[in-house]
């Protein structure tokens, strides 16, 4: 009897921490959220394949850049927000700087807004032009993870402009990524301004590479 009692106690000692861990770390997701998480994880896998194998990736453009799989926070649907684009009445041209010190021109085109834990935030949307003359739109930002869990310069979000001014955009921080200068010294990338700092720990998207 005593041996059986001891065995039961040993089982309980093993199981209790496991149950506690499951209850504290686990959460239930809707079928839609599960599908979303799967899609993001698939996207991350495909990006790793691109970074490792594409001739255009920074790791294959710079012999000194050594590839290893990119690091990410766990996919978290809580960091997906909806917002209209609030266009600036008079978009102003500003000067930003690259990581190699060069001045660049960008247009502060508008901004998006979101709320998290009862606080409101906004991020500028910038319009730029590539060397071949193609316009693009982007978000640059820093947050409380910058320089700690995430790249010290900041992170980016791509922004695809829709002509419909009533369109509601998805602002998904699980897609936040590091610019190429985080992998290779060959590249220079835009430094987010102080205005584009979020006083929040955005534990979503890409982490530090090194």
pLDDT score, position 7 = 47
> pLDDT confidence of 210, banded at 50, 70, 90?
confident
Per-residue pLDDT averaged across 114-136, rounded?
A: 93
> Which tens digit of pLDDT belongs to each residue from 64-100?
999 999 999 999 999 999 999 999 999 899 999 999 9
pLDDT score, position 174 = 98
Q: What is the DSSP letter of 138?
A: E
Determine which helix (DSSP H) or strand (DSSP E) holds 126, and give its type and residue range. Answer: strand 119-129
Token pair of 161 as six digits: 């402009």
Q: How far apart are CA 52 and CA 61, in angstroms?
A: 11
pLDDT score, position 131 = 82
Q: CB of 175 within 8 A of CB of 205?
A: yes
Question: Residue 39's CB: how many other CB atoms inside 10 A?
Answer: 12
Token pair of 145 as six digits: 């993870």
> pLDDT confidence of 197, banded at 50, 70, 90?
very high
The answer on pLDDT for 179 being more than 90 is yes
Per-residue pLDDT averaged across 142-168, rounded?
A: 97
> pLDDT confidence of 26, banded at 50, 70, 90?
low
pLDDT score, position 27 = 80
At residue 161, what are phi and psi to the nearest 5 degrees? -70, 135
As a whole-number percent, the residues of the chain with pLDDT over 90 amount to 83
> pLDDT confidence of 165, banded at 50, 70, 90?
very high
The answer on pLDDT for 9 being more than 60 is no
Domain boundaries, the chain: 69-196
Q: How far apart are CA 53 and CA 64, in angstroms?
A: 15
């Amino acid at each position: 009897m005593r041996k059986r009692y001891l065995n039961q106690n040993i089982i309980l000692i093993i199981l209790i921490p496991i149950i506690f861990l499951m209850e504290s770390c686990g959460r239930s997701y809707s079928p839609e959220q599960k599908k979303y998480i799967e899609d993001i994880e698939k996207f991350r896998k495909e990006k790793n394949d691109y970074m490792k194998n594409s001739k255009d990736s920074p790791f294959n453009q710079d012999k000194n850049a050594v590839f290893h799989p990119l690091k990410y926070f766990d996919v978290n649907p809580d960091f997906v927000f909806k917002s209209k684009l609030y266009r600036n009445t008079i978009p102003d041209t500003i000067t930003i700087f690259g990581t190699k010190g060069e001045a660049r021109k960008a247009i502060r085109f508008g901004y998006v807004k979101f709320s998290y834990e009862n606080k409101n935030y906004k991020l500028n949307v910038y319009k730029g032009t590539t060397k071949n003359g193609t316009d693009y739109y982007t978000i640059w930002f820093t947050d409380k993870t910058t320089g700690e869990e995430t790249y010290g310069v900041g992170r980016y979000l791509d922004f695809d402009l829709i002509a419909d001014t009533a369109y509601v955009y998805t602002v998904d921080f699980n897609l936040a990524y590091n610019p190429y200068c985080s992998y290779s010294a060959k590249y220079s990338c835009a430094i987010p301004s102080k205005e584009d700092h979020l006083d929040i720990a955005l534990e979503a998207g890409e982490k530090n590479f090194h």
